[in-house]
Structure 1
């Protein structure tokens, strides 16, 4: 795993003087991937390290604390995806009151120049920075010229007239279109969480499930999905339900994954579960027998989808 730092003060010397990608990078979608590729190019030209500067918690969580879960990628997944794109170190800057209060000039002078000694920065066309979004890409270019660092601004990355964005991916997932989200991401969307103790009801009806913590992940459309889960280095086919389980009267949000032809103890393990296709919305059944029959039908549907 690449090094991750939480504060711009005290960045070790080997990671200073690099090319720095700026952004939240929630999802690390195709637009983000294009931005990071430009950063890697600049770093190679400078013979310098490749860094990503992102923010934790997400600034939206800081400014609107009661907003519902909306994250496409939680920090471990984001770092892994950034590493896969060629990033060598991440500054996941702690976004708190003090950091939010930095002016645009202070962000450049203190964080980018004093903290990271950045030689080149790359950001998207809509990047803003500093207190009350006081800085934009024009200001960044101007400060780059004045302070002597390079600036590359990435124009919108488009697909059929639509900009690749975290917002459009969230909309696709909330609508129950995981394949559309996968197109925008460049890979299936995953929920990654620890397997927690459930009520073990699934095993009593012949479909044992792993209860995966949803955490801050965006809630996709409630219902049943064909999925693949990474277990001990192997992707396994399965079927999953995300929702409130109205039939059994438990109304907290759950993500329950049934893996086909698998028997093993997953409690306490971190599971990566990729949503492949939406099968049906969440329903309430008359009783457990009806629920059991529907789960069998869902499992068959998922097997067919995943075999295709």
Structure 2
């Protein structure tokens, strides 16, 4: 489905206004988020479905010193929202001016005047405005005065409790991408541009496509069975390492190194996605390149077995 991403809320064209709007940070676009999107659509199926989110994430604005924590950066978030049926994604710039905007001003200025929203949907814990001064009770009163519909969606839960981005982050940091996938409804994916490394993997007989994690959450360091999504959309199984290469002296940043099974070609400069499927082992330091090479061969065999490759 075609989805238009709007990175500003001033002067929107008529086609981007007047829809039913799902509200939230929507990091990960997990099963709970998709329930809000579904509720927005089912309440007014005659209207285009839109999502309003914030870019950067408010936490990145208020606590820039925090380690990266994002499950989805904007392009991946927009793609997931499009797959869920969104025709428009409003990535409202979160800056000091928006952070200082009172809840009522946000509703009047952004939701009503800029977006022309005709129906709203959000989770029960949605909060907004200066110092999070607006909640769903406030939003309900405001929407009723404006003649705008509102659907408040209860949390989607499993046996462990409500599904949340926080739970997904914790599962990934603990080395359980399969648990994260159950909460997301799909494997978690890191997207990035393949950069030139030192070609050591090629010399060892295991060439890799290297991607920096950047602003993505850092999952547990170690080896994973993965599926790569290439620029042309093709899916290629492989084995990947998340870490800073301690055997080779260490990197200043965490990288994701992926060896693609039975695939040959040049990926430098291309954006690819790496879907973490199963954690195989923790990161380790090896006594020389021969030991490292043997470990990679063992990891690759385990990953092939897990993926049926």
Query: What interval of TM-score do these two structures reach, taking the shorter chain for normalisation?
Result: over 0.9
Instruction: Measure the CA separation in 2 of the matches of 1:27 and 1:175.
Output: 17
Q: Structure 2 CA distance, aligned partners of 1:42 and 1:107?
A: 23
Distance 1:209 1:113 in 2: 50
Which position in structure 2 is the counterpart of 1:165?
164
1:14 maps to 15
- The alpha-carbon deviation at position 43 of structure 1 amounts to 3.0
Matched, 1:194 2:193: yes
1:39 Cα offset (Å): 1.1
Superposed, 1:249-260 pairs within 5 Å as 249-252=249-252, 253-260=254-261
Distance 1:97 1:4 in 2: 22
Distance in 2 between residues matched to 1:257 and 1:272, nearest whole Å = 10
Give the deviation of 1:233 after TM superposition. Answer: 2.1
Alignment correspondent of 1:279: 280
Number of positions where the alignment pairs a residue of Structure 1 with one of Structure 2: 306
- In 1, Cα distance between equivalents of 2:9 and 2:73: 21
What SS does the aligned partner of 1:273 have? strand
Cα deviation for residue 250 of structure 1 reads 2.2
Partner Cα distance (2:47, 2:302) in 1: 50
**Deviation of the 1:213 alpha carbon:** 2.4
Q: Write the distance in 2 (CA, Å) between the matches of 1:87 and 1:245.
A: 40
Aligned to 1:234: 234
For the residues of structure 1 that align with 2:79 and 2:31, how far apart are their CA atoms?
A: 15
Q: Spell out, residue by residue over 1:52-79, the C-alpha distance to the aligned partner (whole angstroms, 9 max, x if none).
A: 0000000000000101010001111000
In structure 1, how many angstroms separate the alpha carbons of the residues matched to 2:237 and 2:7? 36
Helix, strand or coil at the partner of 1:274: strand
* Aligned-pair Cα RMSD in Å: 1.0
Match in the other structure for 2:66:
67
- Note the C-alpha offset of 1:119: 0.7
User: 8 Å contact 1:22–1:52 — kept in the other structure?
Assistant: yes
> Could you say what secondary structure the match of 2:61 adopts?
helix
- State the partner residue of 2:102: 103
Q: Which residues in structure 2 correspond to 1:113-128 (within 5 Å)? A: 113-128=112-127
2:177 equivalent in structure 1? 178
Rounded to whole Å, the distance in 1 between the matches of 2:266 and 2:81 is 30
CA deviation map 1:87-126 (0-9, x unaligned): 1001100000111111000011000000011111000000
Q: Which runs of 4+ in 1 moved over 4 A?
A: none
Shift of 1:5: 1.1
Deviation at 1:161, TM superposition (A): 4.6
- 1:92 corresponds to which residue? 91
Task: Give per-residue Cα distances to partners, 1:125-154, cap 9 Å, x unaligned.
Answer: 000011010100000001111121111101
SS at match of 1:242: strand
Deviation at 1:251, TM superposition (A): 2.8
SS in structure 2 at match of 1:226: strand
Flag structure 2 segments of 5+ consecutive residues without an equivalent.
none
Following the alignment from structure 1 to structure 2, what is the Cα–Cα distance between the partners of residues 163 and 272? 28
- Residues 246-297 of structure 1 show CA distances to partners (whole Å, capped at 9, x for unaligned) of 0000232111000011110000111111101001000000100000000000
TM-score (norm 2): 0.97
* CA distance in structure 2 between the aligned counterparts of 1:278 and 1:65, rounded to whole angstroms: 29
5+ long unaligned stretches in structure 1: none
Comparing 276-285 and 33-42, the one that deviates more: 33-42
- What does residue 301 of structure 1 align with? 302
User: For residues 251 and 80 of structure 2, what CA distance do their matches in structure 1 show?
Assistant: 33
- Give the Cα–Cα distance (whole angstroms) in 2 for the partners of residues 254 and 117 of structure 1: 43
